Amino acid sequence: MTGRVQLYAGGMLSAVFLVAAAVSLVWVPHDVAALNIAERLRPPGGDYVLGTDQFGRDLLSMLMVGARSSIAVALVAVGIGMGLGVPLGLIAAANRGSLIDEIIMRGNDLIFAFPALVIAILITAVFGPSAVNAILAIGIFNIPVFARVTRGGALSLWTLDYILAARVAGKGPARISVEHILPNIANLLIVQGTIQFSLGILAEAGLSYVGLGAQPPTPSWGRMLAEAQTMIYTTPRLAILPGLAIVLMVLGLNLMGDGLRDALDPRLRRAAR
Amino acid sequence: MIGVEGLSVAIHGARVLTDVSFAVERGQIAGLVGESGSGKSMTALAMMGLLPHGARASGAVRLDGTDLLQLSEAQMCDVRGRQIGMIFQEPMTALNPVQNIGDQVAETLVIHGVASRAEALREAGKRLNRVGLPAARFPLTRYPHELSGGQRQRVCIAMAIALRPQLLIADEPTTALDVTTQARILDLLKGLVEEERMGLLFITHDLAVVAGLADRLAVMRRGEIVEQGAAAEVLAQRRHPYTRALFEAATHRPDPVPAAAEAPLLRVARVERSYPQARHSLFRRPPPFRAVKGVSFDINRGESVGLVGESGCGKSTLTRAILGLDPLQGGEIRLDGQAVTAGERMPAPLRRKMNIVFQDPYGSFNPRHRVGRLIAEPFHLTGRPDDAETRVAEALSSVGLAPGDAVKFIHEFSGGQRQRIAIARALITRPELIVLDEAVSALDVQVRAQILDLLADLRRRFGLSYLFVSHDLHVVRAITDRVLVMRAGEIVEAGPTERVLHAPNHDYTKALLAAAPELEVPR
């Protein structure tokens, strides 16, 4: 599959979920908090496009609201990772080889040394399960990823002549980092951002599956899976639909990440021609 | 033995080669000369069957009667390496950094199935010995990073001749090397051609390099061969105007700039620069490596001084210290009476008085900024003046570009134009000293001649001083009043350029001069 096709397919897949999440902010077909036992386990069709669950809640509405919380958690988590990781990486690269660089990068290694999900479970277990704690837990583990990518990209740029020219022009490391380094590693960061975003969605689904994410009655894809578990033989639709949503969203983001990398990397762009 | 007959190549419909014909015989060296973009490398790639995607070749490349253009990819794989070997310009990237040199040379033999691994390694040892890397000093287990540029190029040659090919194609094999290293590599290639009775196609942009080497010479321009014949004849008669232009560019010297007054602008006194070395033992710190050992010299106002030496002699380290980028370990540097200190402690008004132009016109600019912003960068030192845009336009016109170029991106310019932009950037704060770090080494001879003219002209108009850093004494001759020869961190000879070039005192200067290829200028 060429980069362009990947980019469009991934972008379209992701856009479907983004639009669904955005629409759910103002309108959903049915209220997701209201239980309606009389309408329980309705098959798809009619008033309920994707049917209802064992409490009579509309599955489509739940998926839409679930997309919203998944995306919100992943987005804020990536934001935390980028917001702290990128400056740390830039600082480390600007002071390469110094004590500051050592401290930052060994701190990174320390966070990397812990299994992310286990620590996330620990954090939510200690501070109580909630969407905010899930965001924090996932966000913290994004920091070292972005710090490393940033430092790696920045290090190779620091040896270039135009950086030397900027130093001859009297510019300090902070200014050089923002003006010359950051724009030239932006493509790396965008690609890493999409990949971390999809990992964030998976992590959110995992945490809410074990009950440590968004709390009821807010629907989330992970908990929908967990609740459908007991009925997987009688009404498989209840497990298949949220599972499919997770798979398609992550697939879409990964395809988009790959496509973006091909589109933004001038070396690959040249090779494709 | 190999004949290129009416070779034309088009890439996506655009003509890059038109009706190219020449022949290389066994035991003969054929030179292919032209500026960059003239199609020299494309000719070599077509002969090897390595054209880029979308390229279509017509005509014929006959190797002992077989037309290589008609062979399948699998058949070409057998021809490459076995019958035609190739060496490239950049020895730093032509070798695999994670494989030792023995394995890399042996690989060619193993792939073509002529030897088992053990035999191949024995043969590799012999080949490396032949190219001047004796096993006693350079065992097969050495890795590329343990070798210098010239030594790596020798490994590349050993790989190319491992199977004793009939034809060796050398694409600018010495352009990235120092003059002394270049002379040794040229000797090696010459010896190999005689000994192995192979043909050598030598591709270069510099007439001076092939002048003493080639038996036959073809001059190429815009995808066509404009003149070819016996090398001596082509060089002596220069029938085609392009050959004449190339010849004049190679020997070009700008009009002399009147001598300057005796007023020192830059004083470098007993400067020491050293680096900490890598530790080999946990308990002992190795002594620091002294890259610059107590160097002293002056540059007068309006004077142009050359600093010449091989790579690794400490000239770049010294340059960085003069620009106040790295701290000194001893001595002092004064610009206009004020001490140069490293880092941000250096006052901006002092920093404004000097600037630098780098060797590589491609790595010198942030690709995401427009030319106007690139040139205006040094205004950081003075504060952006109100007439910044006029000043940028002035700087662009003074280097021979249009003021309208300020809104373009750097990738829209050629190497020579980029070097002009680099000079414009260096001029923008109206400095007094410009450091030219190999500023013309990466350029074609004709572009080089233009840039040298520009530099001489700017010096006359603005009373600039230059520190011209280079590995080539002959480039320095064209543009400097005085020259300093540097070796292993020390200045071994200093004096007026003409005196040093005609009556060198130090053996090292003599060696440098002997190594530099020179075209005889008929007067």
- What is the tens place of the pLDDT at every residue in B389-439? 899 998 998 888 888 889 988 888 888 889 999 999 998 988 999 999 988
pLDDT grade for B443, boundaries at 50, 70 and 90: confident
Rounded-to-integer distance, Cα A101 and Cα A113, Å: 18
Mutate to test the interface with B, among A157, A158, A168 (most CBs of B within 10 A): A168
What angle (nearest 5°) sits at the alpha carbon of residue B89, between those of residues B86 and B95? 70
- pLDDT at site B343: 66
User: Both tokens of residue B25?
Assistant: 């015989």
The domains found in chain B, sorted by start residue, are: 1-83+166-251 (3.40.50.300), 92-164 (no CATH)
Amino acid identity of residue B422, one-letter, is A
Q: What average pLDDT does range B92-112 have in this prediction? A: 86
Q: What average pLDDT does range A171-199 have in this prediction? A: 90
- pLDDT at site A272: 41
Rg (CA), chain A: 22
Q: What average pLDDT does range B202-231 have in this prediction? A: 89
A165 touches chain B (CB under 8 A): yes
Mean pLDDT taken over chain A: 85
B377 touches chain A (CB under 8 A): yes
Are B378 and A164 a contacting pair at CB < 8 A? no
List, in order, residues 6 or more apart from B308 with CB less than 8 Å away.
B315, B469, B470, B471, B472, B473, B476, B483, B484, B485, B486, B512
List, in order, residues 6 or more apart from B518 with CB less than 8 Å away.
B208, B474
CB contacts of A2 in chain B (<8 Å) are none
B346 touches chain A (CB under 8 A): yes
CB contacts of A162 in chain B (<8 Å) are 363-366
- pLDDT at site B367: 87
- pLDDT at site B360: 83
B14 touches chain A (CB under 8 A): no
B381 touches chain A (CB under 8 A): yes
- pLDDT at site B333: 92
The CA-to-CA distance between both ends of chain A, in Å, stands at: 15
| Beta-carbon pairs below 8 A across chains A and B | 52
Closest-CA distance of chain A to residue B519, Å:
33
**Across the interface, which of B54, B368, B381 has its CB nearest the CB of A170?**
B381
Decide the pairing of beta strands B264-275 and B289-300: antiparallel
So what's the architecture of A3-20+68-216+223-272 in CATH?
A: Orthogonal Bundle (1.10)
Q: What average pLDDT does range A159-177 have in this prediction? A: 88
The tens digit of pLDDT for each residue in A116-164 reads 778 778 887 788 877 788 888 888 889 999 999 999 999 989 988 899 8
Q: Is the pLDDT of residue A59 over 90?
A: no
pLDDT grade for B20, boundaries at 50, 70 and 90: very high
A40 touches chain B (CB under 8 A): no
- pLDDT at site B74: 87
SS3 string, A106-153, reads HHHHHHHHCCHHHHHHHHHHHHCCCHHHHHHHHHHHHHHHHHHHHHHH
Closest-CA distance of chain B to residue A187, Å:
12
Q: Is the pLDDT of residue B90 over 90?
A: no
Q: What is the ipTM of this complex?
A: 0.76
- pLDDT at site A101: 93
A176 touches chain B (CB under 8 A): no
Q: Of how many residues is chain B composed? A: 523
Q: What average pLDDT does range B132-142 have in this prediction? A: 86
Closest-CA distance of chain A to residue B442, Å:
14
pLDDT grade for B235, boundaries at 50, 70 and 90: confident
Are A180 and B348 a contacting pair at CB < 8 A? no
Are B344 and A170 a contacting pair at CB < 8 A? yes
Q: Is the pLDDT of residue A108 over 60?
A: yes
Dmax (CA) of chain A: 77
pLDDT grade for A189, boundaries at 50, 70 and 90: very high
Amino acid identity of residue A88, one-letter, is L
SS3 string, B34-53, reads CCCCCCHHHHHHHHHCCCCC
Q: Which residues pair with B333 in a beta bridge?
A: B268
> Which DSSP string do the residues of B247-267 spell out, in sequence order?
HHHHT--PPPPPPPPS-EEEE
A267 touches chain B (CB under 8 A): no
> What part of A 227-266 touches B (C-beta under 8 Å)?
none
| Sheet-wide strand order for B29-33 | B84-87, B167-171, B199-204, B29-33, B216-221, B224-230
Is residue A44 reached through a cis peptide bond, with omega within 30 degrees of 0 on the bond before it?
Answer: no
B327 touches chain A (CB under 8 A): no
Are A180 and B344 a contacting pair at CB < 8 A? no
- pLDDT at site A265: 63
Q: What average pLDDT does range B318-343 have in this prediction? A: 87
- pLDDT at site B37: 80
- pLDDT at site B268: 92
The tens digit of pLDDT for each residue in B247-300 reads 888 878 888 777 767 788 999 999 999 888 777 777 777 788 888 998 999 999
Are A172 and B344 a contacting pair at CB < 8 A? yes
B344 touches chain A (CB under 8 A): yes
Q: Centre a 10 Å sphere on the Cβ of residue A85 and count the other Cβ atoms it contains.
A: 26
Mutate to test the interface with A, among B275, B320, B360, B366 (most CBs of A within 10 A): B366
What angle (nearest 5°) sits at the alpha carbon of residue A94, between those of residues A93 and A100? 80
Rounded-to-integer distance, Cα B367 and Cα B370, Å: 8
- Residue B218: exposure state from Cβ atoms within 10 A (0-12, 13-18, ≥19): buried
B365 touches chain A (CB under 8 A): yes
CB contacts of A175 in chain B (<8 Å) are 380
The 3-state DSSP class for residue B104 equals helix
Q: What percent of chain A has pLDDT over 70?
A: 96
The tens digit of pLDDT for each residue in B477-495 reads 888 999 999 998 899 999 9
Q: Is the pLDDT of residue A39 over 80?
A: no
List, in order, residues 6 or more apart from B488 with CB less than 8 Å away.
B293, B313, B314
The answer to whether A222 and A167 are in contact (CB under 8 A) is no
Q: What average pLDDT does range A177-192 have in this prediction? A: 90
Are B325 and A171 a contacting pair at CB < 8 A? no
A171 touches chain B (CB under 8 A): yes
Mean pLDDT taken over chain B: 87
CA distances from B288 to A45, B292, B322, B502 (A): 80, 12, 20, 37
The tens digit of pLDDT for each residue in B114-132 reads 888 888 898 889 889 888 8
- pLDDT at site A271: 42
B361 touches chain A (CB under 8 A): no
Q: Which of B30, B32, B52 is nearest to B40 (CA)?
A: B32
Please tell me which residue, A212 or A100, carries the higher pLDDT value. A100
- pLDDT at site A210: 85
B319 touches chain A (CB under 8 A): no
B380 touches chain A (CB under 8 A): yes
Rounded-to-integer distance, Cα B521 and Cα B238, Å: 13
Rounded-to-integer distance, Cα B365 and Cα B412, Å: 12
The tens digit of pLDDT for each residue in B181-196 reads 888 889 999 998 998 8
A168 touches chain B (CB under 8 A): yes
- pLDDT at site A228: 85
Chain B: residue whose CA lies nearest to A184: B368
pLDDT grade for A266, boundaries at 50, 70 and 90: low
- pLDDT at site B522: 46
pTM equals 0.81
Mutate to test the interface with A, among B377, B428, B433, B437 (most CBs of A within 10 A): B377
- Residue A156: exposure state from Cβ atoms within 10 A (0-12, 13-18, ≥19): exposed
CB contacts of A184 in chain B (<8 Å) are 366-368
Amino acid identity of residue A205, one-letter, is A
Q: Is the pLDDT of residue B523 over 70?
A: no
User: Both tokens of residue B420?
Assistant: 């002009």
Mutate to test the interface with B, among A162, A176, A182 (most CBs of B within 10 A): A162
- pLDDT at site A270: 47
Q: Is the pLDDT of residue B521 over 70?
A: no
Are B377 and A183 a contacting pair at CB < 8 A? no
- pLDDT at site A109: 92
Least confident of A59-68, B161-170, B470-479: B470-479
The answer to whether A183 and B368 are in contact (CB under 8 A) is yes
